[in-house]
């Protein structure tokens, strides 16, 4: 595997990588250890039953919710999407 620091759209690596993303709301586990990679130009759909965590995952990507654990990388660098405006700064909408 290539060095994550140098991965990104220019090297064919993912533009967005989620690693072991989890989200708890009190005792309720909404997401557990979600991994996702999206390459530039790729179209991705989230499909699942009601209550599967699709909306929670999107809200984490949009900066509305913070993950309880895990890491988000954008263009090969760790990022904190701590607000919707931060996500928009990176072009995530």
* Domain residue limits, the chain: 4-90
> Where would I find the beta strands (DSSP E) of 1-91?
16-25, 28-38, 69-74, 77-79
pLDDT at residue 9 in the model:
62
- Residue whose tokens read 């557990």: 32
Contact present, 43 and 20 (Cβ < 8 Å):
no
Which CATH fold topology does 4-90 show? Rossmann fold (3.40.50)
Q: How confident is the model at residue 1 (pLDDT cuts 50, 70, 90)?
A: very low
pLDDT at residue 29 in the model:
95
Q: What is the pTM of this model?
A: 0.84
Q: CA of 68: how far to CAs of 43, 61, 86, in Å?
A: 26, 13, 18
User: What does the pLDDT look like over 47-89, one tens digit per residue?
Assistant: 999 999 999 999 999 999 999 999 999 999 999 999 999 999 9
Q: Which residues pair with 19 in a beta bridge?
A: 71
């Amino acid at each position: 595997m290539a060095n994550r620091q140098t991965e990104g759209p220019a090297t064919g690596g993912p533009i967005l990588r989620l690693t072991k993303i989890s989200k708890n709301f009190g005792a309720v586990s909404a997401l557990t250890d979600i991994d996702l990679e999206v390459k530039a130009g790729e179209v991705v759909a989230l499909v699942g039953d009601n209550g599967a965590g699709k909306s929670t995952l999107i809200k984490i990507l949009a900066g509305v919710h913070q993950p309880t654990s895990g890491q988000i990388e954008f263009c090969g660098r760790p990022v904190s999407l701590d607000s919707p405006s931060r996500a928009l700064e990176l072009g995530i909408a």
